[in-house]
Amino acid sequence: MPLRKIPMPKRGNYLLRLYVIRSTQKSERAIENMKRVCEAHLQGRYDLEVIDILQHANLARDEQIVAVPTLIKRLPAPLRRLVGDMSDLNKVLFGLDLRMQEP
């Protein structure tokens, strides 16, 4: 299946890719958690693409995905990677540059 072209987000928007294996509970939790985080903290300023690595192995290879779920924040720069079910809100917000890391 060919890669579909992703439109460039508007200025200030977040371009996020969440790599999962849809059949796992951890991946389903990550999808739910990211949707909740995006709606609560980015409010319409994001594009979240969920990619099942079983269906798009070439994308996972190109992005060097070695564990799932993995979230890649492509925009705004800098590129960031988060691994896990995205249940730790502070780590997710820090990874998205929405909050300073607490000691």
Nearest to 16 by CA among 89, 87, 92, 101: 92
pTM of the model: 0.84
C-alpha to C-alpha distances, 83 to 4, 11, 53, 73, 90, nearest whole angstrom:
24, 26, 14, 12, 14
Residue 99 pLDDT: 80
Which domains, from first to last, does the chain contain?
Answer: 14-95 (3.40.30.10)
Residue 102 has pLDDT above 80, yes or no: no
Dihedral Cα 58, 4, 75, 39, nearest 10 deg: -110
pLDDT digits (tens, 9 = 90+) for 37-63: 999 999 999 999 999 999 999 999 999
Residue 27 CA to residue 18 CA, distance in Å, equals 9
Q: How many residues does the chain have?
A: 103
Q: Please give the residue that has the higher pLDDT: either 18 or 103.
A: 18
